[in-house]
Amino acid sequence: MRFIKELDVFNRLVVFIVVMMTFSLKAQQKPNIILIMTDDQGYFDTGFNGNGTILTPNLDSLAAKGVILDRFYSASAVCSPTRASVITGRNPYRMEIPEANSGHMKTQEITIAELVKEKGYATGHFGKWHLGIQTKKELDANRGGKEKNFDHYSIPSMHGYDTYFCTESKVPTYDPMLYPKTFKEGESKKYGWTALIDGEKSKEYNTAYWEGDEKKAEGDFSGDDTMIIMDKVIPFIQNAVSNNKPFFTTIWTHAPHLPVVTSEYYKNKYSLLSNKEQLYYGAITALDDQIGCLWEELEAQGIADNTILWFCSDNGPENNTPGSAKPFKGRKRSLHEGGLRTPSFVVWCNGINGGRRADFPAVTSDYLPTIAALLDIEYPDDRPLDGVDLMPFIENDTLKRVKPIGFKFKDQTSWVNHRYKLISKNSGTTYQLYDLIKDKEERYNILAIESTIAVQMMTELEDWLGSVEKSAEEKDYPN
């Protein structure tokens, strides 16, 4: 009898070990998810989209492993609204975040981080946030510390992130807390400058990194800003791996948003170009090097093949910079293609057949539905989502997107389906229609020729705008 009891204990122990091993295996099999978003990087500001001047070898290598998304749109022509769409799958106007430095991410919204956390993921956000102020106690960045903005206090930990290291909004892309006391010729606080050298007099830029509720990050924040961000990302990844947990992270760089600040090392890579170009292109190449460091860490941890890495920008290139949306019309703040199409790719060696370019329309609002479908997560309620699951299109890019994409920015509105783009620049008083398959540069307005299609799209756009307005007015969160 004693032998039988001892055998029973042994068998239960074996079963327990097998169960735990199975659980661990499943945890390892869940793909890690990284959403990288740069700031104001134009469609043509990468080598993989044809730029032969800007050096982006790491981005080019990753893009070659995956699927380059030629028609990937930011949900808005400016920063904060696009960021809101990334983590919610909803158009930013539904959340009353119409412009940069306006509104905030509300706790009633459902985010990717919240959804995947329930599936056992470690969650982290790193870099720019721009979805609410980080402090009420001191002046910080654009809105932080000002009483009129206290209602906009909204930090990543309120939205499903276990770990974060972020700024409220923009910072210089090198030595992010400082700027020179005096500027060299052709450099400015607005556009950018050559990185400070030892002994050079400086001033505080009035920004900070935050990592908790009213908790300012401490440490040495000198050097390249993307490197500072990545130095926080990598320990987060290492910690997740050591705890045998899959991870989800949003990495939102500040580069190449102005002010672009670049060290002599990166400027020298463009020594034959103007100083303005050296600063701008150098900031992008410095960013590219850090993405290379990230991928090297994934490989070192043995998890690169089972990590889904998405890359995009938050809108088109800023005006009066060397940034380019070539060959498209428009730039940042425009709903023409150049203001919305961004450099983009997805790589997942274990799950996606790479080495391709795809030309189906996709948007930042598609991230949440895609990740939810991939992880078999049922969305908790019936509030409107504006995105769709992209995996069927990635697997078969001959499919046509059925659900059009709506855009709104100030007086501009636009409605984009698989082939056509309807756009108004004066709140729907007049419209233009373009065939994006034949005319991606938007040179020929075919409204008069394709009037039936135009009228149908106008009706669809008005219905969608009505839905968006209703969401904002009635706060479409279930009780």
Strands 32-38 and 412-416, sheet pairing: unpaired
Q: Quick one: pLDDT at residue 14?
A: 43
Domain count, the chain: 1
Whether residue 123 is contained in a domain is answered as yes
pLDDT category of residue 8 using cuts at 50, 70 and 90: low
pLDDT at 7 over 70: no
Q: Decide: helix, strand or coil at residue 322.
A: coil
Confidence of residue 227 (pLDDT cuts 50, 70, 90): very high
Of residues 10 and 78, more confidently modeled: 78
Q: What CATH code is carried by the domain that includes residue 64?
A: 3.40.720.10
Which has the closest alpha carbon to 340: 371, 373, 363, 359?
Answer: 363
pLDDT band at residue 81, thresholds of 50, 70 and 90? very high
Cα–Cα distances (Å) from 215 to 127, 129, 133, 212, in that order, read: 16, 15, 13, 5
Strands 420-424, 432-435: pairing kind? antiparallel
In a domain, 59, yes or no: yes
> Is residue 476 very low, low, confident or very high in pLDDT (cuts 50, 70, 90)?
confident
Identify the pLDDT of residue 306.
98
Stretch 311-319: mean pLDDT: 98
17 located within any domain: no
Closest CA to 229 of 274, 175, 278, 165: 165
As a whole number, mean pLDDT of residues 269-292 equals 98
The answer to whether the CB of 130 falls within 8 A of the CB of 80 is yes
> What is the reported pLDDT for 27?
45
Q: How far apart are the first and last CA of the chain?
A: 59
Binning pLDDT at 50, 70 and 90, where does residue 5 land?
very low
Residue 479 has what pLDDT? 61
pLDDT given at position 3: 37
Closest among 349, 346, 124, 157 to 240, alpha carbons compared: 124
The answer, yes or no, to whether residue 21 has pLDDT greater than 60, is no
**pLDDT tens sequence across 128-145:** 999 999 999 999 999 999
Q: HSE, CB side, 13 Å, CA atoms: give it for residue 104.
A: 19
- Whether residue 456 lies inside any domain: the answer is no
Instruction: Please provide residue 163's backbone torsions phi and psi, each rounded to the nearest 5 degrees.
Output: -130, 140
In a domain, 462, yes or no: no
Q: In 47-119, which ranges are continuous DSSP H helix? A: 57-65, 79-88, 112-117
Average pLDDT, the chain: 94
More confident call, 474 vs 370: 370
pLDDT tens track for 367-418: 999 999 999 999 999 999 999 999 999 999 899 999 999 999 999 999 999 9
446 domain-assigned? no
Domain membership flag for residue 253: yes
- Supply the pLDDT for residue 23: 37
pLDDT tens digits, 176-189: 999 999 999 999 99
For the segment 224-229, the average pLDDT, to the nearest whole number, is 98
CA 317 to CA 256: how far, in whole Å? 9
pLDDT one-digit tens code per residue, 407-452:
999 999 999 999 999 999 999 999 999 999 999 999 999 999 999 9
Average of per-residue pLDDT across 246-263: 98
Q: Is residue 7 part of a domain?
A: no
pLDDT of 10 over the 50 cut: no
Name the residue range of residue 267's domain: 31-400
- Residue 312 CB neighbours (<10 A): 26
Q: Give the Cα separation of 429 and 424 in Å (integer).
A: 7
